[in-house]
Amino acid sequence: MAGKQLNPYKKPYSEIAKDLKPEDTAAVLNMTTTILKNLGGRPATYPNTTQGLEAFIENSQGYFDYIQCANAKLDEKAQIIPDVELYCVWLGITRTTLKQYRERGGDWEKVIGYFKEAILGAKKQLMLRGKIPTVIGVLDLVNNHDYYNTNSFTIETKTAAEKQDKNDLESRINEAGLIWDNELKEFVPQGE
């Protein structure tokens, strides 16, 4: 039972990669269905143990091996781009579970951080070459790689003349000694 928990796949990764046909243009779906069949309908479990971490690392390496083997056989347009979601599918877990594993800290945090950086490195090269649309790239950076967009923009329709008019009006109200009366809904002299 413990062996099944640590390595839920029925076939070694090298065998899975060999099953990919060169004419296969749906490599991602092929990989996904293969993994789902090998999992037997149950999510993978990587216990918070040394053995669990070792299985996690082995299966993570298998993801990159699979992509490398698959892409060697596929046309450039059909090649698999590594990403966090597909990585999770390969591992038999969800993004939320991956986050929980990372929150275990220590070696788990380091290992998952490394694999996520490897995924980001591959995608960033494609982004820099214009092969991944900017919007998709930014969303991926924010959602999967802990980047934050700290810029904020304020759109105002007021022209400089309108702003000056408002400032002039406020000055005249202050010079006249007027204050706003909420009950009357108008400006009244101070002290009344």
**pLDDT, tens digit (0-9, with 9 covering 90-100), for 17-30:** 556 554 444 566 66
Query: Do 37 and 12 belong together in one domain?
Result: yes
Query: Do 101 and 185 belong together in one domain?
Result: no
Query: Do 51 and 6 belong together in one domain?
Result: yes
Question: What mean pLDDT comes out for the span 182-186?
Answer: 83
Query: Do 109 and 51 belong together in one domain?
Result: yes
Distance, CA of 9 to CA of 92 (rounded, Å) = 9
Look at residue 85 and tell me if it is in a domain: yes
Distance, CA of 163 to CA of 62 (rounded, Å) = 62
Look at residue 105 and tell me if it is in a domain: yes
Look at residue 153 and tell me if it is in a domain: no
**CA torsion 168→173→175→178, rounded to 10°?**
-170
Look at residue 180 and tell me if it is in a domain: yes
Look at residue 88 and tell me if it is in a domain: yes
Query: Do 164 and 99 belong together in one domain?
Result: no
Look at residue 152 and tell me if it is in a domain: no
The pLDDT tens digits of the residues spanning 100-118 come to 999 999 999 999 999 999 9
Higher pLDDT residue, 39 or 98?
Answer: 98
The pLDDT tens digits of the residues spanning 115-139 come to 999 999 988 888 888 888 888 888 8
**DSSP string over the chain:** -HHHHH---SS-HHHHHHT--TT-S-HHHHHHHHHHHHHTTS-----SSHHHHHHHHHHHHHHHHHHHHHHHHS-GGGPPPP-HHHHHHHHT--HHHHHHHHTT-HHHHHHHHHHHHHHHHHHHHHHHTT-S-HHHHHHHHHHHS--------------HHHHHHHHHHHHHHHHTTEEEETTTTEEEETT-
- Domains in the chain, number: 2
Residue 175 belongs to what domain range?
160-189
pLDDT score of 150 more than 80? no
Look at residue 151 and tell me if it is in a domain: no
Distance, CA of 42 to CA of 124 (rounded, Å) = 33
pLDDT score of 167 more than 90? no
pLDDT score of 13 more than 60? no
Query: Do 126 and 77 belong together in one domain?
Result: yes
Look at residue 90 and tell me if it is in a domain: yes
Query: Do 104 and 36 belong together in one domain?
Result: yes
Weakest-pLDDT range from 40-49, 103-112, 154-163: 154-163
Are 8 and 16 in contact, with CB atoms under 8 Å apart?
A: no
Query: Do 166 and 139 belong together in one domain?
Result: no
Query: Do 178 and 93 belong together in one domain?
Result: no
Query: Do 179 and 126 belong together in one domain?
Result: no
